[in-house]
Amino acid sequence: MHIVFAASECVPFAKTGGLADVVGALPPHLVKLGHEVTVYLPLYARVRPHIKGEWKYAARSITIPFTYYNRFVGVVDGGKRDGVQYYFVDCPELFDRQELYGIRGGDYPDNAERFGLFCRAVLEATKLLGVPQVFHVHDWQTALIPIYLRTVYAADPMLNHAGVVLTIHNAGYQGKFPPSTTEQLLFPWDLFTLDKVEQFNDFNFLKGGLVYSDVLTTVSRKYAEEIQTAEFGERLDSVLRGRAADLRGILNGVDYAQWDPATDGNLAAHYTPENLAGKQECRADLLHAFGLEKVAASTPVIGIVSRFATQKGFDLVEQIAAKLSDRDVAVVALGSGEPVYEKFFRDWAFWNKGNVAAQIRYDDALAHKIEAGADMFLMPSKYEPCGLNQIYSLKYGTVPVVRATGGLDDTIEEWNAEQGTGTGFKFYGYEAADLLAAIDRALDAFQNKKAWKRLMRNGMARNYSWEQPAREYAAVYEEVARRRVS
């Protein structure tokens, strides 16, 4: 079967979060199952260095109409990697920018036009380069594909048999734009109603995608349940409940070719569950990278790697920061995003030199070093559709301390010292005291070296590779394709 992925992020070309890891890893696994997969991505400034030699255009000038003007986009052939065909949608005036979505935590003011153009360009490009049986689109940035497909393009004989699967990686980001977007993107005004794209007087990209896709998936079973409730649904819960029969939870896999301490090229030393010695070297290397060389060998190190967004729960960490600084523990944090959290981490490190250190930026190599060198990994998320870092942590023998929500709840099992079972520490209420209690349980457990090793190895033995989820997605595509022809 031919599947077209349209996404706003994809490793190794452009990444701000886990979406890029998923869109980078799932397609090659589908190819292994015998499917043909094409991935479309905007040609951002950071994609340019990945295009080697002279650019080869698969299409030179596709016309994308707007209310009073046209834009003309090219499609650059990114070639095949691991059997997957990549195409980059070239529209320099919209995509040749420093960032993907906006600068300093804000959004570019023309994001509706940027991703509207991208979605329409993908549909037009497939008519030249191959219409798939199924489009697999991801989050609000590509949610206009199903909307276009079932409205403006509904009568197109080349496209109207194609099915659409929309994966919700994060319901907290919906792509909300003013009503005038309807006209700007040349949709008929009758689309702007509450049963279609309108949501609280916004043109809501994600909502339209939920209405018009054949099947919806999200990235863990727990989150599939949660988003149907008012607490987690981000005001789309009633729409999601309405589509419950077509909503699936498929837990993300992780790419062990990139994330395995036995082979990871970013580490000072390698290690395996059988021989953990290299982890000590990784810890020393990590402490050096953060200027924390004086931390005692007996002191546990907590690692954090994250987008600094409200979703990630760092307001809870802020509430317990003073208490944590009094305990025998070191903290290393890597992240960037909302200024309030950047400031909190900078200040926390400033007042606790020698024990707490933070690097406010995006740094893939350092993220790997933290996974390997820390003893514990902290994710106190308010909500977490899947979360990849806790799954990486398991593989690296770095014990996760997480809030029991979404994929964190699905992947981490509470440590049971009597039985020697479990992989980490979980807390339930979104409360600072509950977070502190979970960290205290972890710090306690760390004192018993033998038990701690058992706990590390329990996590390292878990397998979250892509084989199983890739098969689940393939089954969804088959189902959608069957529905479309019948």
In the complex, minimum distance from the CB of residue 374 to ligand ADP, in angstroms, rounded to a whole number: 13
Strands 70-81 and 84-90: antiparallel
Largest CA distance in the chain: 70
Q: What span, in angstroms and rounded, lies between the C-alpha atoms of 73 and 70?
A: 10
Listed ranges 12-20, 58-66, 237-245, 422-430: which one lies at the site for ligand GLC (CB under 6 A) = 12-20
Closest contact distance (angstroms) between CB of 334 and ligand ADP is 5
- Is there binding between residue 217 and ligand GLC (CB under 6 A)? no
According to the binding rule CB under 6 A, does residue 234 interact with ligand ADP?
no
Check binding of 224 to ligand GLC (CB under 6 A): no
Instruction: Tokens 């949608």: give the residue.
Output: 89
DSSP 414: B
Q: Distance (Å, rounded) from C-alpha 300 to C-alpha 287? A: 11
> Which 439-478 residues touch ligand ADP, going by CB under 6 A?
none
Q: Which of 264, 384, 409, 410 binds ligand GLC (CB under 6 A)?
A: 384
Binding mask 385-404 for ligand ADP (x = CB under 6 A): -xxxx---------------
Q: Which of 30, 145, 374, 388 binds ligand GLC (CB under 6 A)?
A: 388
Structure tokens at 255: 């790419």
Residue 224's closest CA among 60, 385, 68?
A: 385
> Which residue stretch of 11-19, 231-239, 281-289, 461-469 sits at the interface with ligand ADP (rule: CB under 6 A)?
11-19
Q: Which residues contact 65 (CB under 8 A, 6 or more apart)?
A: 186
Query: How many Cβ atoms are within 10 Å of 245's Cβ, its own excluded?
Result: 6
The residue among 19, 4, 246 whose CA lies nearest residue 127 is 4
Q: At what angle do helices 314-325 and 432-446 cross, to 10 degrees?
A: 50
Residues 299-328 that bind ligand ADP (CB under 6 A): 305-307
d(CA 47, CA 11): 10
C-beta of residue 385 within 8 angstroms of C-beta of residue 406: yes
* 169 lies in the binding site for ligand GLC (CB under 6 A): yes
Least gap, CB of 433 to ligand ADP (angstroms): 25
From residue 393 to residue 432, the character string flagging contacts with ligand GLC as x (rule: CB under 6 A) and all else as - is --------------x-------------------------
Interface region with ligand ADP, contact rule CB under 6 A, candidates 12-20, 129-137, 265-273, 478-486: 12-20
Strand, helix or coil at 306? Answer: strand
Residue 219 binds what, of ligand ADP, ligand GLC, none (CB under 5 to 8 Å, by partner type)?
Answer: ligand GLC
Q: Which residues are near ligand ADP by CB under 6 A?
A: 17-19, 21, 305-307, 334-336, 362-364, 367, 386-389
